[in-house]
Structure 1
């Protein structure tokens, strides 16, 4: 690795932007060791280490010598774009190789659906829906990757009509057919991937990685601190009538007959294949879905967005009624799936194995999957390895989920055991200087057994072969936090110090000193919006998530105008990259503990036993805190202030300080903190 990362290595001699960092060299050596050992290991590197080159170069060099394809998976689109547009092109100077960016098909515009939607709307050119379609058409022609997320801001001006247009042109499995392969973005990306040594994807796609995708030998999961969340989403069944309705609309709709699958059959074929029988089942199913929604909405607790369904509720009359209604839906969905499969067989007998037959097959498989999910959620008795819960929003059907409490065994079986080597990396993989929490959550080591649990409650897990575990390593960070960062822990005894008005007053006091340049992080949406109402600053823009634009647009405004205070919740704690003076202050409302009542959180706390706070609640909060802290220093000459308005109990302050980089610290009342900030800022 010295050949590339040494003080006189290839990168140093050929790149004006390269700065030798001993941390990057150590990082690359650790990655190389894991690959050569066919291992699974955590390698942590702080912001500024140069992690992407640190794992790309060892993998490419090894794969060029021994063969195999490399999969790089990230959580955020920003990092995917950085790797694809900046880091990999740079390495073309040193290696002869191809690379590709691959996303799930739903991230692309289907050009066939776009063409149909435009033709259907030709007579209504004055409508926002049509204008949104034209904007999407222009975007699809000009954007390099065609990632539909990049079009969100472009169609925001069209409101509901824009969102409807986007949904009508989004690629789906039953529109992604063989006749589209020559001009379909998704198939083009797959073709590029088959010819590539390196594939860049997101966590969800990497965890799924269908057999039809190009074979991969080496895997890197960047931003791996969030891998448990992605695995929880992917490995747990979900049941929503909205999903079934969406699929039904693509199969048959009275309102949009011309663009549905069944509309492609001629009158003669409708008679010949018995399409009317399928339509009758569809109409019956729609009635059952409405009855199911009416029943479940009448049984839900209106005050709760998320609610866990506990064991004692599974024998209640309310749940029995829901299960009975769910069985009727499941039966109807299975019946529809069988009829569609029958239609497919009739078409194949007539030697009509065409694109329409392909769409019919995909619809049948999808309805079969929905029926299996319904059975899994409503008819199978929960075991202690999963949590049953629902999610409810105004004016939407309830979504039911069964989520795994521990995704570790699933990662071992479905991910680690599939690849020659796996690197799990991030700037935040340790809690209070230790890796054990993250290794347990990701299935690398076995969770500790709590003696308070009954033997029947202890989960039997699939464990990673100990021989494959590579000892975790942190290479630290290259930045001088001691001189660059002032960490302020605000101590107040008054009861109203955590009230929105008090928080707003403190944000205003700090912002007046710094003239904005601030990101304020919250754990609760309603509290954040209440704080914003009480902030009044002359000459400083006050922006809030949910009210003033998309995440991307808000960050762009902070980058372009330093006189800004930006307020955000959970999604703003990570992935926000604003180097330079425009972000000089990060205010953290409080230690980001998950609120009790969140179904997965509660179940996982129970799963670790009586020491749940120290073994799960505090570590998860501290990992999020590290991410929030990390928004401040993005490059070597950055500096600034982090203020934690409510740092919590003194009993775990030591753990907080061990979790964060060592920097100048003040732990005092707000008056003293403000004086220290004023003195620091004057320097």
Structure 2
């Protein structure tokens, strides 16, 4: 692996702050061999290994076309604008790269022309449409509410037959991708490529799936379905513009989706009365008659724009017909069908229960595959991860973190609080808040508090009493919250969901991570509940516990992001000490000192002044 070693030595000379990490070079060597031998491998790379360079450099050295898939657009941007940009300047190797996002991230020229709204926001938006060269919504300082009506939509896209195809922002960018060496995408696009029988991405040689612990749920989501108020009303407005009578349908559609009782949480199965009303909506829409009416247009007499409008509308009608029938029949045993609420309207959704067969199809679509994350193993084994995705015959590699957790970190586990089970939940919410306040006082702010439910998060945000500035999730976009946190001294973030993973805050800005409860899956989540039900007596050992361990490790990993960082991770769930599974969870964390006394937390921070 001389090429790997010499390339990393070059980085040492080029990058002043670069630290030689044997773990990184070891991973890079194995990834390089995997690519050369057209094999497949799972690599857990602990926090600080520098896994992005450890797979990007081998990809560059092989000179083969590589797809890199990560969990979010924010991480895509980081790989492109930070990592690949640096490597292109630092290495004497010629290579090209690009980023690709879904169509809904780009302005659609046709749909923007069809849309009109006399508002200040729209006038401001129109000015952007005149000036933009890319049509990428990330150029906007805000995302307008009407974005979904003017962005690209696969159901309303006629590709090369569209009169705007030549100037289309998405396809203009897409046509340039075939010449690129490395293409950075997100997991949703990877799943849509699978859904399209591998006709979406421009090449399928080498694949890297970073943040691979999230791929199962993304496949489950993308290969599911959704029926919303906006999806139907968009079609009604389109049909009205084609002089097809639909005004009598709006009231029935509004009545169906804007019900008196909007669910606070997802629930399943879908009640029979909702299915009966959906059957009625299906009848009122009379999509077969709509299709006949659209077929009656004489193509030869239409101009290009009207012809495209007819063709894409037919495509949209067919897609909607399929979706409505799926929710009426609910005959796919590998899907769970459920109802949820969003902005005062119900939505019907379906997700895959098991993603293993679809993942098998995905991995067979590429010549070589690297799956990596900081958290893939439980108890030092990839058994759970492989079982969930049906993985066989992959090489395996477990690389620990280069950080010295025993010196850099203190683990505080509270043993005085009641266990946060159903019987004690309200008491736990109140009493844990006092502990959170005392811990934040000890750290002088600089804290991320991770909750497992919005109910507990909202309670804490309303009742917390601290001398430091704080914000709670939901008040602003996540990226804005993180920027606020970095710029505001001694600040505190109260968060849940997305903040458990993918947050990278180096230095003293973040010195305390509080994990309020062990992050077991939420009862009431239809997909999780159905997975548990199918496992029978094994639901806890085969799903609930290993899932919680991986999420806990993700939360733990938010704290130490460099060899100079220090801080405290506090877990307020006493079940870590009293339950039979507590030792299993603790053994999955790095070897470090454990304390049960807040005075020791105060002492730790005093010593690291």
Q: TM-score, normalised by structure 2?
A: 0.89
Q: How do residues 20-99 of structure 1 correspond to structure 2 at under 5 angstroms?
A: 20-62=20-62, 64=63, 67=64, 69-92=65-88, 93-99=91-97
Following TM superposition, by how much is the alpha carbon of 1:192 offset from its aligned partner in structure 2, in angstroms? Answer: 2.3
Following TM superposition, by how much is the alpha carbon of 1:403 offset from its aligned partner in structure 2, in angstroms? Answer: 1.9
**Among 98, 106, 109, the residue aligned to 1:108:** 106
**Among 391, 396, 405, the residue aligned to 1:481:** 405
Q: 1:112 to 1:635 in 2, by over 3 A?
A: farther
Following TM superposition, by how much is the alpha carbon of 1:334 offset from its aligned partner in structure 2, in angstroms? Answer: 3.6
Other-structure match for 1:554: 481
Matched, 1:202 2:169: no
Following TM superposition, by how much is the alpha carbon of 1:290 offset from its aligned partner in structure 2, in angstroms? Answer: 3.9
Following TM superposition, by how much is the alpha carbon of 1:135 offset from its aligned partner in structure 2, in angstroms? Answer: 7.2
| Inter-partner Cα distance in structure 2 for 1:496 and 1:201 | 41
Q: 1:219 to 1:481 in 2, by over 3 A?
A: same
Give the secondary-structure state (helix, strand or coil) at the position aligned to 1:129. helix
| Inter-partner Cα distance in structure 1 for 2:201 and 2:304 | 22
Other-structure match for 1:148: 137
| Inter-partner Cα distance in structure 2 for 1:51 and 1:342 | 57
Deviations 1:567-611 (A, max 9, x none): 011111112111110000001111111221211111001122211
Matched, 1:186 2:170: yes
* Count of paired positions: 591
| Inter-partner Cα distance in structure 1 for 2:5 and 2:360 | 32
More displaced stretch, 86-95 vs 559-568: 86-95
More displaced stretch, 76-85 vs 240-249: 240-249
Does the 8 Å contact 1:71/1:216 carry over to 2?
yes
Q: Which runs of 5+ in 1 are unaligned?
A: 157-161, 254-261, 263-274, 446-468
| Inter-partner Cα distance in structure 1 for 2:57 and 2:165 | 33
Other-structure match for 1:336: 290
Does the 8 Å contact 2:106/2:169 carry over to 1?
yes
Following TM superposition, by how much is the alpha carbon of 1:2 offset from its aligned partner in structure 2, in angstroms? Answer: 3.9
| Inter-partner Cα distance in structure 2 for 1:2 and 1:641 | 40
Q: How do residues 639-650 of structure 1 correspond to structure 2 at under 5 angstroms?
A: 639-648=566-575, 649-650=578-579
Matched, 1:392 2:341: yes
Q: How do residues 545-584 of structure 1 correspond to structure 2 at under 5 angstroms?
A: 545-547=473-475, 549-584=476-511
Q: Which runs of 5+ in 2 are unaligned?
A: 419-423
Does the 8 Å contact 1:589/1:646 carry over to 2?
yes
Does the 8 Å contact 2:416/2:574 carry over to 1?
no
Matched, 1:513 2:442: yes
Give the secondary-structure state (helix, strand or coil) at the position aligned to 1:71. strand
| Inter-partner Cα distance in structure 2 for 1:6 and 1:601 | 47
Does the 8 Å contact 1:498/1:646 carry over to 2?
no
Other-structure match for 1:458: none
Following TM superposition, by how much is the alpha carbon of 1:371 offset from its aligned partner in structure 2, in angstroms? Answer: 0.9
Deviations 1:85-114 (A, max 9, x none): 122223333322221111111012335655
Following TM superposition, by how much is the alpha carbon of 1:617 offset from its aligned partner in structure 2, in angstroms? Answer: 0.8
Give the secondary-structure state (helix, strand or coil) at the position aligned to 2:267. strand
Following TM superposition, by how much is the alpha carbon of 1:676 offset from its aligned partner in structure 2, in angstroms? Answer: 0.9
| Inter-partner Cα distance in structure 1 for 2:477 and 2:200 | 35
Q: TM-score, normalised by structure 1?
A: 0.80
Give the secondary-structure state (helix, strand or coil) at the position aligned to 1:499. helix
Other-structure match for 1:404: 352
Following TM superposition, by how much is the alpha carbon of 1:8 offset from its aligned partner in structure 2, in angstroms? Answer: 6.9
Does the 8 Å contact 2:45/2:374 carry over to 1?
yes
Following TM superposition, by how much is the alpha carbon of 1:163 offset from its aligned partner in structure 2, in angstroms? Answer: 1.9
Following TM superposition, by how much is the alpha carbon of 1:418 offset from its aligned partner in structure 2, in angstroms? Answer: 1.0
Q: How do residues 96-175 of structure 1 correspond to structure 2 at under 5 angstroms?
A: 96-111=94-109, 127-130=119-122, 132-133=124-125, 136-137=128-129, 141=132, 147-149=136-138, 151=140, 154-155=141-142, 162-164=144-146, 166-173=147-154, 174=156
Does the 8 Å contact 2:158/2:308 carry over to 1?
no
Matched, 1:227 2:208: no
| Inter-partner Cα distance in structure 1 for 2:122 and 2:286 | 36
**TM-align CA RMSD:** 2.7
| Inter-partner Cα distance in structure 2 for 1:78 and 1:560 | 19
Matched, 1:682 2:609: no
Does the 8 Å contact 1:305/1:393 carry over to 2?
no
Q: 1:551 to 1:186 in 2, by over 3 A?
A: same
Matched, 1:426 2:373: yes
